[in-house]
Each structure stands twice: as structure tokens, then as C-alpha cells.
């Protein structure tokens, strides 16, 4: 290669190194300038958006906490009602089992066929009356459990809307 070619290559290498360094320096200055020159209207807009987001988060947290408390109360009422219902069913089963043994004892004591039918029909009448009373008791208990279980939902239904507004 000639001296002129070498000289151009060396000058190009010398000028490209400072230019690359200079470009990085200019980019750094430009980004610093951009960061400090954000218009105040944009900052205000971002602050308002952040304040709204915080307010929405606080309201949502309050609503969820209130709803969780209401659901806990519903669960405890439903659990208590379920226990009462189970106790009533066990009591009804015990009464019906005793009535079946009583019927068997009465039928075993019958000496004639008409007496057997008479005792059987008398027992069936008592069982029908007993069944009707048991059905009324279960219906009343079911009504009570449903009312107690849904009361927290009804009483606390409007509260989240008050919190949200």
C-alpha cells in the first residue's frame, strides 16, 4: 500500500474513535435533558392517575374485606343451621324407628286378623299425623336456617356500593 492509502486509513481510524465517544456523550446529555424537561402537565396527569389508582385500590380492598367478613358470617350461619338440621333428622329417625318397633310389638299381640288390621290402620294414622308434624318442623327449621344464612348477605349488600361511591 502506498503512503497516501495508509494515511487515509489512519486518519479514518483516528476520527471514528472520537466520533463514537462523542455520540455516546451526546446521547447521555440528550437523555438527561429529556428527563428534566418533562412538561408539568404530564407530571400532573401522572400524579392524578396515580392518586386515582391508589383510591381505587383502597376502595377495592375495603370492599373485599367487607365481603369477606359477610361471607364468613354466612358460612358460620350455614354451618350452625346444618348442624341443627342434622340433629332434627337424627331425632326424626329415632322417633320413626321407635314407632316401627312399637307397631311390630302391637301387631305381634294381635290375636285375630281384624284386630291385626285395626292395629295396623291405627298405627298408620298415627304415623301419618307424626309425618305431617315432622314435615312442618323440618319446613320451619329450613325456613329459619335460610333466613339466618341469607341475613348477612341482605344486610351487607348495600355496603360495598356505599364504599365504592
Domain residue ranges in the chain: 56-164
CA angle in degrees (0–180, nearest 5) for 134-140-142: 100
- Residue-wise pLDDT for 105-143, tens only, equals 999 988 899 999 999 999 999 999 999 999 999 999 999
pTM: predicted TM-score of the whole model, two decimal places: 0.58
Sorting pLDDT into bands at 50, 70 and 90, what band is 41? confident
Least confident of 29-33, 91-95, 108-112, 122-126: 29-33
| CB-based contact 135:42 (threshold 8 Å) | no
CA distances from residue 143 to 88, 117, 138, 139, 151 in whole angstroms, order as listed: 14, 38, 8, 6, 12
Cell of 27: 446521547
Least confident of 98-102, 105-109, 112-116, 149-153: 149-153
Q: How far apart are CA 63 and CA 149, in angstroms?
A: 20
Average pLDDT, the chain: 81
Amino acid at each position: 500500500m502506498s503512503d497516501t492509502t495508509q494515511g487515509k486509513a489512519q486518519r479514518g481510524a483516528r476520527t471514528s474513535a472520537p466520533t463514537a465517544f462523542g455520540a455516546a456523550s451526546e446521547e447521555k446529555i440528550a437523555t438527561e435533558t429529556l428527563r428534566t424537561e418533562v412538561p408539568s402537565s404530564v407530571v400532573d396527569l401522572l400524579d392524578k392517575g396515580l392518586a386515582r389508582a391508589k383510591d381505587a385500590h383502597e376502595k377495592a380492598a375495603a370492599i373485599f374485606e367487607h365481603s369477606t367478613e359477610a361471607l364468613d358470617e354466612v358460612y358460620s350461619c350455614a354451618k350452625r343451621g346444618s348442624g341443627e338440621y342434622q340433629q332434627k333428622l337424627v331425632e326424626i329417625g329415632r322417633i320413626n324407628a321407635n314407632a316401627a318397633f312399637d307397631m311390630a310389638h302391637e301387631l305381634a299381640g294381635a290375636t285375630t286378623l281384624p284386630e291385626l288390621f285395626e292395629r295396623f290402620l291405627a298405627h298408620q294414622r298415627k304415623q301419618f299425623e307424626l309425618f305431617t308434624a315432622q314435615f312442618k318442623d323440618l319446613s320451619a327449621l329450613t325456613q329459619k336456617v335460610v333466613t339466618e344464612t341469607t341475613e348477612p348477605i341482605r344486610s351487607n349488600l348495600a355496603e360495598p356500593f356505599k364504599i365504592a361511591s
